[in-house]
């Protein structure tokens, strides 16, 4: 899935958890973005993959920037466009204010090509990896057959939970993952008049999410290839359904029909 598609889906599709403190909204908000340690929840991700017979995702190396998330941001104006984390931060910390259209001149970051799994976390210091991976696995119920290629009119991939499911089971040989907790912090300065009358400091809001970037991308925009082969999908279905009936539902339905007729 292309980087732009990733952040557009994130900004459109997710519930956000944010904590706020301090003054009423002021003017000129800025953002900072911090990243947690490498391999967050990667063990749980790989356990889910091994359960269906897939190989483990390899940790993306620190120097391999093409396979890793964009870097941290220390200070970025809200009104500036063109920085990769902006849609993510605006999803985690919703705002009703109309943003400016000026081209960005601050710190720049770019999402590289990959298939991304995403989940909001309430506490970045206590991530429930099992619950998150189970949530991603649960998107299986949204598919009624082999997942299709990523076409413009394909509604399935307009929901990030479905993209996360595909990322979790990225079947590519020697696929890598960069899984880290991303925390956005939005700082809104108190207005001069507000500070003078209330003696209250800036308003600070935070929001966090676990993002796993898997490479190579198996959902390229306008791709003509399904993310899984029939055999790979069969492995996933068998593991998640726990029976052969999930792989060949038509055969089982026929057998049940014959059994029903024989009992008449």
pLDDT single digits (tens) 101-111: 333 333 445 68
Tens of pLDDT, residue by residue over 176-233, are 999 999 999 999 887 633 544 454 578 899 999 999 999 999 999 887 899 999 999 9
Q: CB-based contacts of 6: which residues, under 8 Å, 6+ apart?
A: 111, 116, 118, 163
Write down the pTM of the prediction: 0.77
**Pairwise pLDDT comparison (10 vs 154), residue with the higher score:** 154
DSSP-assigned letters across all residues of 121-160: ES-TTS--HHHHHHHHHHGGGG-SSSPPP--TT-GGGGSH
Looking at residue 233, its pLDDT comes to 98
Per the CB < 8 A criterion, the answer to whether 115 and 169 are in contact is no
- The whole-number pLDDT of residue 161 equals 97
Say what the pLDDT of residue 4 is.
41
Higher-confidence residue: 100 or 44? 44
Write out pLDDT tens, residues 136-191: 999 999 999 999 999 988 999 999 999 999 999 999 999 999 999 999 999 988 76
pLDDT on residue 78: 72
- Mean pLDDT value across residues 31-51: 97
Q: What is the distance between the alpha carbons of residues 76 and 33, in angstroms, rounded to a whole number?
A: 9
pLDDT at res. 143: 97
Residue 10 has which token pair? 């994130």
Residue-range domain boundaries for the chain: 3-228, 229-264
CB atoms near residue 241 (< 10 Å)? 13
């Amino acid at each position: 899935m292309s980087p732009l598609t990733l952040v557009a889906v994130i900004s459109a599709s997710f519930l956000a958890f944010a904590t706020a403190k301090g003054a009423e909204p002021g003017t000129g908000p800025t953002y900072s973005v911090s990243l947690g340690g490498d391999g967050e929840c990667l063990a749980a991700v790989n356990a889910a993959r091994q359960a269906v017979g897939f190989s483990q995702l390899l940790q993306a190396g620190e120097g391999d920037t093409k396979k890793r998330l964009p870097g941290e941001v220390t200070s970025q104006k809200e009104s500036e466009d063109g920085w990769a984390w902006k849609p993510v931060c605006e999803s985690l910390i919703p705002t009703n204010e109309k943003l400016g259209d000026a081209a960005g001149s601050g710190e720049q970051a770019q999402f590289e090509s990959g298939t991304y799994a995403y989940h909001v976390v309430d506490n970045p210091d206590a991530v429930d990896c099992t619950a998150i991976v189970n949530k991603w696995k649960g998107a299986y119920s949204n598919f009624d057959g082999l997942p299709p290629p990523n076409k413009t009119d394909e509604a399935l991939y307009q929901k990030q939970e479905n993209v996360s499911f595909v990322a979790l089971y990225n079947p590519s040989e020697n696929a890598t993952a960069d899984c880290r907790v991303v925390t956005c912090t939005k700082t809104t300065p108190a207005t001069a008049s507000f500070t003078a009358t209330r003696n209250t400091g800036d308003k600070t809001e935070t929001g966090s999410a676990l993002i796993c970037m898997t490479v190579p991308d198996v959902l390229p925009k306008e791709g003509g290839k399904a993310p899984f082969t029939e055999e790979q999908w069969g492995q996933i279905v068998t593991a998640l359904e726990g029976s052969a009936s999930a792989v060949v539902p038509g055969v089982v339905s026929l057998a049940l029909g014959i059994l029903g007729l024989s009992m008449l």
